[in-house]
Structure 1
Amino acid sequence: MYFLYFFYQGSFLEDSIILRSFLRRISSKIFSKYLFLPSLIFHSAWYFGVKEFGFYVDLNILTNLLSNSPNPSSIENIEQHAVKVFFYNFSMLLMAAASGHYFQKLVRVRKWDRKFKQLRFQNSWHYILKGEFFDFPRSAFDLEVDTVERIEIVYVDAVVKIEEGSIIYDGILVDYELSKDGGLETISLKEVHRRYLKDDKTQASFDHKYYEIPGHILILKYSEIINLNFSYYKVIEENGSYNIELVK
């Protein structure tokens, strides 16, 4: 359990989301299969490993404690070796937590979460906003020339509904925040321009439709966004100058 909790913990999810997601997975029958395997590995390793240090785990005492009428001698045995029992369990839980944390790092480095759905994290927005969904086996978009790592700029078109009508905001993605239920709460954009969709019918020049929004960062609430469009760009240096081009 500790292994899986720390595996799903990290920069991908807020702490409250991690806990709810983890508890939801624990309650599912499918997840119980993945819970059983690491539990079996760590318990087996510690059961046989302590023998190398001159100790052993008496399973008869354990089964007796789990019975309806445990033998008093079993309880006395636990009390006499309380410190050893504590360090046995504490060391196992500590190693499980550390293993889960570093296994997460390994999964991210090896990109296994993109290849195998079972290892994928619950924060689906990360894969969309960073363009990592291109590497999903079932993705309808394949990068034939570039890789996901070539993506340096994510350009966002967001349609927002207000009383005066619908506005489209264009800008470069800076950051995002998750909501309590694991969805998208806000997105932050820079170098933002906006235009009213109704201006498409009244203005002939496309350039005149856009208005630059001064400021460093514009934050949009996801609850007010109707549609989102993402474009993923790479930066190319040519003759000392830099240009951007869509990844292919």
Structure 2
Amino acid sequence: MNIAFTTVLLFIILAPGFLARIAYNSSKLSVADSNRNLVNELTWSIIPALTLHIIFVAIIQNATRYSVDFVQLGNLVLGTSQNADARFAQLNDYKYAIFFYNLILFKTSFVAGYLLRKMVRFFKLDRKFRYFRFSNKWHYIFSGECLDFPDVPDEYEEITNKIINVLCKVNGRTVLYTGEYFNYYVDGKGDLEAVHLKYPIRRYLENDKAGDEDYYVISSRYLMIPNSDIININFKYINFEEVDEAELSEEEKDNAIQLSE
């Protein structure tokens, strides 16, 4: 029995964990890690793969007429050549059962990874515990979910609007772009690629004491700024709350924003 067969067999055994990880990381919340390769992914897949196999084997052993011959499985994994013909003949007798076992297991693994991601997001485990945090750090910053991190005193639920100031270098001049957050883009390594603003305005930064009249309203609803032009970014997480004017103090009335109907 050659090493190629053993390699394929090990890959099939670990594939459920690999598929579960693919489903778990298949969203904008995750970015590719350039330091990981197929071997790393399969290594990280051992625990979920074994967990899924244990569950499925328990079901097979207790709910069907089939059973798993662990002695034969061990011999196949180790690649021992003794009685190899007899073992392969036995595999041939149960080839359809083995095929459907793996097919159902693979599909279940993918769904399990997807549901686990949904559960982590629903219960906000990625905000509460660093271990569950996804690899795309920009998602938490641009969405404002970073405010729910344990060491941050604010709360994400209080955000009703997000204003972004983007300081850029354009044609040798420093320009400040301001607008509502619309979207952001990252490359395959997880580095910021561009920022997308809504209702953008800009002004040059030569006079840092400039007033609102120095802002130029860009005649476009959206503006995309490439990261290559960006010096730094300032985030303003705003909470607009509708209140009764009679309940406000004089100082609060001066700071309140009135919206016309």
TM-score (norm 1): 0.83
SS in 2 for 1:198: coil
Q: How does 1:169-188 map to 2 (within 5 A)?
A: 169-188=177-196
Cα 1:46–1:149 shift into 2, 3 Å: same
Corresponding residue for 1:79?
92
Pairwise mapping of residues 20-99 of structure 1 onto structure 2 (< 5 A)?
20=33, 23=36, 27=40, 32=43, 35-51=45-61, 52-66=63-77, 67-69=79-81, 71-99=84-112
The change in CA–CA distance for 1:22 and 1:107 in structure 2 (over 3 A counts) is: farther
The 1-side partners of 2:122 and 2:140 are apart by 14
Give deviations 1:191-236, integer Å, cap 9, x for gaps: 2111111133xxx652232111111100011121010000001222
Determine helix, strand or coil for the equivalent of 1:103.
helix
Higher normalized strand content (fraction of residues): 1
What's the offset of the Cα at 1:115?
Answer: 1.2
In the TM superposition, 1:80-229 aligns within 5 A as 80-137=93-150, 139=151, 141-143=152-154, 147-200=155-208, 205-229=210-234
- Contiguous gaps of at least 5 residues in structure 2: 1-16, 246-255
RMSD: 2.5
Structure 1 residues 138-169: Cα deviation after superposition (integer angstroms, max 9, x where no partner): x3x311xxx31231211100011122311010
Letter of the 1:101 partner, please give it. Answer: Y
The count of corresponding residues between Structure 1 and Structure 2 is 228
In the alignment, structure 1 residue 12 sits paired with structure 2 residue 29 = yes
CA drift of 1:7 comes to 1.2
Deviations 1:63-105 (A, max 9, x none): 2223242511111111221111111111112111111101111
2: CA distance, partners of 1:72 / 1:64:
12
Distance change (3 Å), C-alpha of 1:79 and 1:99: same
Q: Percent identity?
A: 28
Report the equivalent of 2:248.
none
> Which digits, 9 at most, give the CA deviation of each residue in 1:107-159, with x for residues without a partner?
1010001111121111110000011111222x3x311xxx3123121110001
Judged with a 3 Å threshold, the aligned counterparts in structure 2 of structure 1 residues 136 and 151 are, in CA distance, closer, same or farther, namely same
Query: How far, CA to CA, are the matches of 2:29 and 2:257 in structure 1?
Result: 31
Displacement of 1:4 in angstroms is 2.0
Higher alpha-carbon Rg: 2
**Aligned partners of 1:206, 1:231: CA distance in 2, in Å?**
18
Aligned CA distance change for structure 1 residues 126 and 76 (closer, same or farther; 3 Å): same
2:120 partner letter: V
**In structure 2, C-alpha distance between the alignment counterparts of 1:174 and 1:105, rounded to whole Å:** 23
Runs of 4+ in 1 over 3 A off after TM superposition: 20-26
**Which residue identity does 1:47 align to in structure 2?**
V
